Amino acid sequence: MTSTQTTKATQITPGGGIESLVWGNRPLPDPAAHEVRIRVHAVSLNYRDLVIASGHYPLTHSRPLLPVSDGAGTVDAVGSAVTRVRVGDRVTANFVRDWISGTFGPAQQASSLGGEVDGMLADYVVLPEHALVPIPEALSFSEAAAMPCAGVTAWNALIFHGRVQAGHTVVVQGTGGVSLFALQIAKHSGARVIATTGDDAKAAKLQALGADLVINYRTTPDWGSVVRQHANGDGADHIVEVGGAGTLEQSLRAVRLGGEISVIGFLAGAAANLNLVPVILNHVRLNGIFVGSRQMFEEFLRTPIRPVIDRTFPFGEALDAYRYLRSGKHLGKVVLEN
């Protein structure tokens, strides 16, 4: 149901590019019995949002949709059967709307915000109560909005699947949201972190965040061998692979016998001739990570980890925020505040 009132929202047409973003009016949505209406105060962008805009994201419909998976706000209205939250509660939403816990399957895959279903870039959104997660008091709306995609992805990779612990060596790539969360999660777990970047200025910031070693992949293209040397000659226990096919060869050089590579993104390309021999001979585990469940998100929010926010924009400047993200100048999360 919708009311006769109107509110502001952004729509994007997948394949139309970021210039297809339109900020305009839509009817104020009313929650059904098990739904909640949220007054959105902040959202954050992910690389996925650029891919959806380009039309290259494999799971997106072609119809116009509300973009952006990550957002946080205040409960504004609740349906008649809602029991998990109350009006006035501060909440964020899980990236995979219908993945509460347990096994990930087709039904969960089809419920990812901002791609498969409408996202968060609107003054008001309506979501099922089971998708919502309370925001800890220590986090602002902007910080909470920066956590769902990148933070839960890193948590799933390193904690739920990776079981990273003190004494392990973890490799993170670049300075995007997933990599910075992975760095913080690994250090929080007592692990040693080796980071890669192509920018010396960003290298200094990675060290300030706790990286034990930073390798410039532009000046050291064979960074996988350097990682191995600095990991007792055996290789890293876990690699958070955000580059995809373009960097996986180096990750396979860097990982130890029996180590694990969490394949998360494709920043450096989605296709390549991949030699699987090292995977087999070295008993390497390749795990594809698609964010995570609400349970994982709730576990992650119980840590003291906070996001690195690079820059904030007003809601009405979404196009500028998208352009800034596309420029690659950011270190951490790009946030829009309402």
What stretch of H or E contains 324?
helix 318-327
Question: What's the average model confidence in pLDDT over 53-77?
Answer: 89
Domains 2-149+292-337 and 152-288 share a fold: no
Task: List the chain domain ranges.
Answer: 2-149+292-337, 152-288
Cα–Cα distance between 190 and 236 in angstroms, integer? 14
pLDDT given for residue 246 in this prediction: 76
**Chain CA centroid to CA 292, Å:** 10
CATH of 2-149+292-337, picked from 3.30.710.10, 3.90.180.10, 3.90.1150.110, 3.40.630.30, is 3.90.180.10
Q: Which of 89-93, 165-169, 241-245, 309-313 has the lowest mean pLDDT?
A: 241-245
Question: Is the pLDDT confidence value at 72 over 50?
Answer: yes
Query: HEC profile for 164-233?
Result: CCCCCEEEEECCCHHHHHHHHHHHHCCCEEEEEECCHHHHHHHHHCCCCEEEECCCCCCHHHHHHHHCCC
The backbone torsions φ and ψ at residue 275, rounded to the nearest 5 degrees and listed phi first, read -85, 110
Give CA torsion, residues 46, 47, 49, 54, to 10 deg: 170
**pLDDT class for 56, splitting at 50, 70, 90?**
confident
The phi, psi pair for 175, rounded to 5°, reads -130, 25
Q: At what angle do helices 318-327 and 47-54 cross, to 10 degrees?
A: 100
Instruction: Specify the range with the lowest mean pLDDT, choosing from 114-128, 176-190, 197-211, 255-269.
Output: 255-269
The model carries a pTM of 0.94
Closest by Cα among 231, 227, 286, 278 to 261: 286
How far is 270 from 273, CA to CA, in rounded Å?
11
Reading the block at residue 12, the tokens are 């994007």
The proportion of the chain whose per-residue pLDDT surpasses 70, expressed as a percent, equals 96
pLDDT one-digit tens code per residue, 231-285: 989 999 999 999 877 789 999 999 999 999 999 975 545 555 677 777 887 889 9
Stretch 62-70: mean pLDDT, rounded? 91
Alpha helices, DSSP H, located in 189-292: 200-208, 223-230, 245-254, 277-281
Say if CB 47 and CB 325 are below 8 A apart: yes
Per-residue pLDDT at 268: 46
152-288: CATH, from 3.10.290.20, 3.40.50.720, 3.40.50.10170, 3.80.30.20: 3.40.50.720
Q: Which of 108-122, 192-206, 264-278, 279-293 has the lowest mean pLDDT?
A: 264-278
Strand pairing of 124-128 and 35-45? antiparallel
Contact residues for 306 (Cβ-Cβ < 8 A; gap 6+): 138, 139, 143
